[in-house]
Structure 1
Amino acid sequence: MTRIFQPFTINQNSLITLDDNAFNHLIRVLRMKVGEQIILFNGTNQITPAVIQQIDKKSVIVKTSTTIFDNRESPLNIHLGQVISRGEKMEFTIQKSVELGVTNITPLLSERCGVKLDETRLDKKVQQWQKIVISACEQCGRNVIPIINPVTKLENWCANLTDSLKLNLHPKARHGINQLSTTHHNISLLVGPEGGLSEDEINMTSNYDFTDILLGPRVLRTETAALTALTALQLRFGDLG
């Protein structure tokens, strides 16, 4: 059943008008008709079934039924610090990270980051990435919306992390995720750029108590590394089995 995110309180057993984004998707893209059923959610870990009641030129009205608690969240609270990658790679990483249960994403700038944008364009990118997050939640069934944080310099991100297990992917690390032993439910995962972190940056992360981890004998692209690490963490400590 089609799932639609709405950024407002969804009253149960009521008639409500959906926002413009929902109208465009349901009516102009999916060509849905009066009487068809959808699922609404607003990020509170609840879903509300609804039926399309009325379609006008620029709006759609639905009749909601009883709201249901529907928890699809991992027991892990994973904060992904991803150095910004070029083109569609960053969008791909964000989309798939949401599917794999990440709860927070901070786009990072590092010495070897290949993306050079001014502050205004970076802000627009963050807004675009947040829309990708919402779309991914609609597709994968999550009812809590992960947050895309403002773009941050790598060291500032490392310095301001709260108490968590801090992991840095490194091709020369001695241990993998299966060798980790932790009671932490909060994990901060750092994934470097396509050229890797510099030696100074690696040393800096160790000063902030990051643990270097290895994903295997092969060198992975940045977008592959992020998703592989998230999968391994969910298998080891989360809800993939």
Structure 2
Amino acid sequence: MPRFHCSIPLSSGDTLALPPGAARHVQVLRLQPGDEITLFDGSGGEFAATVERMGRSDVAVNVGARDAVEREALRPVHLAVGMPANERMDWLVEKATELGVASIQPLMTAHGVLRLAGERADKKVAHWQAVAVAACEQCGRNRVPQVLPVRSLNDWLGALPAPCAGEQRGILSFAAGARTPAGLVSESPASFTLLSGPEGGLSPSEEQEALRRGFVPLTLGPRVLRAETAAIAALVSLSG
């Protein structure tokens, strides 16, 4: 059954006009009055709904029963990532969402190619948020991860509070003695923050500052993975 994210609160028994994005998707699929769909507003659970009316640019639906089903990861995993260039960040946001990431923090780093600020940064974040929404519609998630505003790594690290009880922080690293993500997860943290570098990795000073902020070095093995592959490989181990 087609699934659509609705950016307004949903309640059983309501008749409402879908937001423009969801309405366009319904029209592209050429759905008709009487067709059944699934809606979710991001607050958890999902609703059965029926198309009531198809207009030229609007779609009205009747909202039915709520199903409290959840398809989230075993623990919240927050991904902070040095943005890869070109379309690789789109792919990373999509796959991280499918794997259950709780939030995504795009970072500018010393070795990063992508530099964003002002209106261009805002447009990119809005685009990545839309990618996350589409991934949730496809994979069955009912909670959309937030794509946070672009920040520099140094600013982001400087604003982090001290780790709280139950929180773990890990940084992908080639440092001697680095642990595996699976080994860290075995300690059953309540939440996890993963820091992953861009093409070329993090600079030594950036890595040292992260370690000072409570991040534990993590290894994915001896091979050098692409930036987007490394983040996804770590998320597979951490999300559960």
Give the structure-2-normalised TM-score.
0.93
Give runs of aligned pairs for residues 219-230 of structure 1, distance below 5 A.
219-230=224-235
The residue identity in structure 2 corresponding to 1:170 is: S
Partner residue in 1 for 2:3: 3
Q: 1:193 and 1:4 mapped to 2: Cα distance?
A: 32
Q: CA deviation at 1:68?
A: 1.7
Q: Distance in 1 between matches of 2:9 and 2:208?
A: 46
Q: 1:170 aligns with which of 147, 169, 173?
A: 173
- Measured in 2, the distance between the counterparts of 1:98 and 1:160 equals 25
Deviation at 1:173, TM superposition (A): 4.2
Secondary structure of the corresponding residue to residue 136 of structure 2: helix
Structure 2 Cα separation of the partners of residues 173 and 43 of structure 1: 41
- Name the residue aligned to 2:183: 179
Structure 2, unmatched stretches of 5+, are none
Equivalent in the alignment of 1:148: 147
Cα RMSD over matched residues?
1.4
Give the secondary structure class of the aligned counterpart of 1:105. Answer: strand
Number of aligned residues: 234
Q: 2:209 is matched with which residue: 204, 207, 223?
A: 204
Contact 1:173–1:214 under 8 Å retained in 2: no
| CA deviation after TM superposition for structure 1 residue 79, in Å | 0.8
Post-superposition offset of 1:15: 1.7
- Runs of 4 or more, structure 1, over 4 Å off, are none
For residues 116 and 155 of structure 1, the distance between their equivalents in structure 2, rounded to whole angstroms, comes to: 14
Q: Give the fraction of aligned pairs with identical amino acids, expressed as a percent.
A: 35
Offset at residue 100 of structure 1 (A): 0.5
Structure-1-length-normalised TM-score: 0.93
**Is the contact between residue 77 and residue 238 of structure 2 (CA under 8 Å) also seen in structure 1?**
no
Task: Give 2:18's aligned amino acid.
Answer: L
Note the residue ranges of structure 1 that are not aligned, 5 or more in a row.
Answer: none
> Bigger CA drift: 36-45 or 109-118?
109-118
Residue 67 to residue 130, structure 1, CA distance change in 2 (3 Å): same
Question: Bigger shift: 85-94 or 158-167?
Answer: 158-167
Give 1:71's aligned residue: 70
